[in-house]
Amino acid sequence: GDSVTQMEGPVTLSEEAFLTINCTYTATGYPSLFWYVQYPGEGLQLLLKATKADDKGSNKGFEATYRKETTSFHLEKGSVQVSDSAVYFCTLSGNTPLVFGKGTRLSVIA
Amino acid sequence: NAGVTQTPKFQVLKTGQSMTLQCAQDMNHEYMSWYRQDPGMGLRLIHYSVGAGITDQGEVPNGYNVSRSTTEDFPLRLLSAAPSQTSVYFCASSYGVGSPYEQYFGPGTRLTVT
């Protein structure tokens, strides 16, 4: 079945550092890919999405490109802020309900 | 729009008690679902519904019941609570199932079973 694997956390970075969170997937067909973010004590919010190969999703300085050849959707940000501290979930939507990765906790220190 | 709302926000139950977690959405979404979130496990699908009167099981349905009598509401029932059901529960909704639909999540219910 469909699955998502994302890098284990936690990840701790200093403010203004570069962020990469790796995500790879296994799916049949042509899934859509998402990154959701969960801030402390809150529900999940959509951060960005890509619905077909080579699409780049972007929001709030975060970017991810749908790479079909490497089955990847890595999340990147050039300069993280303390306010980016949260848990990030790579997620796949194919022919079935959403499939989530296990989440990566990011802590950004000033 | 209020989006997806969940009540209660926190709940403590004793083993064997029953309760209903409420979920409502005002976006006229056909698809609704319930997830539980446990440390190191990500989110796991409990039950979902593709429309009023239609429900189906997800990955971890045991110990939970659902029904969908209206488009707006999708309650989750715990019939006889067990400590293994201690978790954070999220309700979500979307226009449809699968690609390319994103889901909208409620704020969650934190449940502790003693």
B61 touches chain A (CB under 8 A): no
Provide the pLDDT for residue B96: 82
Q: Which pLDDT score, from 0 to 100, does residue B10 have?
A: 96
Chain A residues inside the 8 Å CB shell of B50: none
Peptide bond into B61 cis (omega under 30): no
Q: Which of B48, B58, B99 sits opposite A93 (nearest CB)?
A: B99
CB < 8 Å to A103, chain B: 42
Structure tokens at A66: 């749908």
Q: What is the tens place of the pLDDT at every residue in B26-56?
A: 999 999 999 999 987 789 999 999 999 999 9
- CB contact under 8 Å between A97 and B100, yes or no, is no
A100 near B42, Cβ under 8 Å? yes
Beta-carbon contacts of residue B2 (< 8 Å; ≥ 6 apart)? B26
pLDDT tens, residue by residue, A54-65: 999 999 999 999
User: In 3-state terms, what secondary structure has residue B13?
Assistant: strand
Q: How confident is the model at residue B84 (pLDDT cuts 50, 70, 90)?
A: very high
How many other CB atoms sit within 10 Å of the CB of residue A76? Answer: 15
Give residue B102's pLDDT band: very low, low, confident or very high (50, 70, 90): confident
Pairing of strands B54-57, B64-66: unpaired
Dist. CA A57–CA A49, nearest whole Å? 5
Q: Which one of A98, A99, A105 would you mutate to disrupt binding with B, by most B Cβ within 10 Å of its Cβ? A: A98
**Residue pLDDT, tens place only, A67-95:** 999 999 999 999 999 999 999 999 998 77
DSSP three-state, residue B105:
strand
For A52, which residue in chain B has the nearest alpha carbon?
A: B100
Length of chain A: 110
